[in-house]
């Protein structure tokens, strides 16, 4: 079964305090569900239509595991804390 990758690109941070509250809850929920953080940073460089924005890359053992973590009570509590504090693009992408 191919791995899966959860990719978040932060277009805008509207409320840093809400983002911090989200992060305190999200990291344990994601790691507790088997997610492994591979990258959390602003890109070293961008090309073509790329945007210089915070990007987070998390690896899961399967697409199902990634979806289960997103639906989990712990992660949903993190989303409630975020409550519009950012504008982001979050994708779950299957590995090859």
For 52-72, the pLDDT digits (tens) are 999 999 999 999 999 999 999
Check pLDDT > 90 for residue 1: no
Which runs of consecutive H residues, i.e. helices, occur in 1-96?
A: 16-32, 63-71, 73-82
**Segments making up each domain of the chain, as ranges:** 4-94
To the question of domain 4-94 being in CATH 3.30.70.100, the answer is yes
Query: Of the candidates 96, 64, 88, 93, which has an alpha carbon nearest to the alpha carbon of residue 8?
Result: 88
Q: Looking at residue 36, what is its pLDDT?
A: 98
Query: Of the candidates 43, 49, 57, which has an alpha carbon nearest to the alpha carbon of residue 90?
Result: 57
Let me know if 27 is exposed, middle or buried by CB neighbors in 10 A (0-12, 13-18, 19+). middle
- Do residues 67 and 34 lie in contact, with contact meaning Cβ atoms separated by under 8 Å? no
């Amino acid at each position: 079964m191919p791995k899966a990758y959860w990719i978040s690109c932060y277009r805008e941070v509207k409320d840093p305090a809400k983002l911090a509250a989200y992060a305190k809850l999200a990291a344990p929920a994601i790691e507790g569900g088997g997610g492994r953080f591979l990258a959390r940073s602003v890109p070293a460089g961008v090309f073509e239509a790329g945007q210089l924005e915070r990007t987070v890359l998390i690896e899961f053992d399967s697409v199902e595991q990634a979806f289960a973590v997103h639906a989990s009570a712990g992660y949903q509590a993190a989303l409630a804390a975020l409550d519009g504090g950012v504008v982001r693009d979050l994708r779950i992408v299957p590995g090859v």
